[in-house]
Structure 1
């Protein structure tokens, strides 16, 4: 095992664990890709494959293989997290009632080619569902590591089967804070969708590892979700949709026009004008 180069390590000595991540290939065949990504993201490179649970150089690994994956390190670390829009989970989700609730909240069917801005894209799953329902979706993500996962997921979807290619063609990514996205001024958008992170009710290993990763990444990156809702309500859109736990307070104590409730999630809908 090699250590990150000394200059990169010294330059990051004062940074928090959130800033300090390393890039590594899963095997020697992906070393060049890992080098390119490390350079692009200005991250240290571990030039040989390393087992995340045995890694001591960093608290977080961006692993390069057929897909990009982020994984916490240490003996009890959960598994890797990647963006795979063609996974069996995403294909199964197409048939779930949860999609119907999200589509109703966004107003799917009220206007052809609905334009949705997902202002807090995360791993992009709700964005993909909306695109699968026929929406044109702008994903906004400000964390550079999650951006890389989304870019990789969209790239692989574009190389997938015809369904994946079609859905991915309706998705675009803005790497930055949603409030600074130039696409908002350049196009007509109907809906802004907000998904403030909250503890998931599911107990699966996949959910647990994703929540652990986001808690690690975002613990020093607090975002005022109430202020984000205030910003969204001032934009030239027909409605703002906020994803909430079923019994949670309204975001920013702002009462919505109506809510669409499911067993595990609630969508608060703020209607600003008619969809047309």
Structure 2
């Protein structure tokens, strides 16, 4: 069976537990918990189609193990000092990670997702995620829209204004991929999103879903599954109910 760090690299593009959760090494227990919640929602096996469940389950287990290490003061101290952890312990080998998650967090509904989206947009958290995505993607708007939660081409003008504000303040460098993007590339991105939306609407009809919340849920799932396929080693967010940040390694061009 592959070791935890091997699985971290396979699914999330990094062997560093903090990088997988997208948090600094100085993160406290609350930050660790929040990051785990955010990313685990993205890959929860109950929120993907049947063909995606096996891989989602493995990712979910990996995140649970990381949280169990970094949320334990003693284990975290050992990992911080040496990079070691006891992967062979009974707790790590035998724990039901789905039950572990349910003990920590309340069940998530589609309403939770939509409520979080409203709270997320325009927040400092969104701006931070946007800044990281811009830097990791070196200004590539395709990359940014895949990396930042709740984004699509209809959001592009707003996101561009925010990024330009960061450039004007000197918070980020000016990348030509952002400032000199061609109209053709923008149109291709728009067509891709419209195609995804039509596929989601078709899936909604096939599954007999009838309201706007369900429609949103399908769109979120559809978009995230495509992100996971295109960026298998880069893991990006959607969250809170579904979300994340990059590992800083742009590997396959990515949640």
| TM bin (shorter chain) | under 0.3
Q: Which has more strand, going by share of residues?
A: 1
Higher-Rg structure is 1
Q: Which has more helix, going by share of residues?
A: 2
Of the two structures, which has the highest relative contact order with CA contacts closer than 8 Å and spacing of 6 or more? 2
